[in-house]
Amino acid sequence: MTSKSTPGDGDPFSDLKLASFTLLRELQGRSRCTVCEASRKFFCYTCCRPVKELEGKLPHVELPIKIDIIKHSLEVDGKSTAVHASILAPEQVHLYTYPCIPEYKEPSKVLLVYPSETARTLKELLPEKKKGDGNQSQNGNDLPTAKRRRTVDTLFERVVFIDSTWSQSRKMFADERLRGWLL
C-alpha cells in the first residue's frame, strides 16, 4: 500500500523525482577508469568519476548548499557512499581524507553534522523570530519549507559531514581543528 503525501506535510521527499536506472542495469561488466585505469563497475571511487560508458548520462544535482565530507584515512574508499554525492553534485560536494581538514575563512558559517552531547537540531539553529513579525513560531518551524531552506542557506556557507566508523569519528571529532564549527 502506498500513501501519497503532499508538499508541506513534513515529507521532504514528496516532490522527489527519480531518474530511470535502466542504464545502470544494462551496463555489462567492468570498465577502466579514464583517469587512474582501475577496473570499476559504475564509477571510480578513487577519482570520483563515472566510468566512460556513463559519462554525461547520470543526473546532475544542484544542492542548496556546499558540502564537505571528511573521510577517515582507514575508511575503505569502495564502501564510502560519499563518492555518490560527489559524482552527482561535483560543484557542491568536496571530499577530504583525514587528517586533511579544510580551513574556512569564517568557521561560524560552517555547520558540522555530528551526533554529540552538545549537538543541536536545525530547528534550534534557526534565528529566533520577534513577536509581531507575522509568524507564530519562535524558530521558523512553521515557515514554508522553501523559505526555511533560504534561511539555512544564508546562515551557513557549508555543511561538513564525517564519514567513518564510530570509533574513527570520535577520534576525528576530538581534533582541535573542528572546534570552531557550529554543531
In which residue are the cell numbers 564509477 written? 43
Cα–Cα distances in angstroms (integers) from residue 130 to residues 78, 135, 145, 148, in the given order: 48, 9, 19, 16
User: Is 0.95 surpassed by the pTM of this model?
Assistant: no
Q: Specify the range with the lowest mean pLDDT, choosing from 70-84, 99-113, 132-146, 163-177.
A: 132-146
pLDDT of residue 106: 86
pLDDT of residue 177: 85
Count of C-beta atoms within a 10 Å radius of residue 22: 8
Contact (CB, 8 A) for 104 and 110 = yes
> pLDDT digit string (tens) for 66-117?
999 999 998 888 888 899 999 999 999 999 999 999 988 888 888 888 888 8
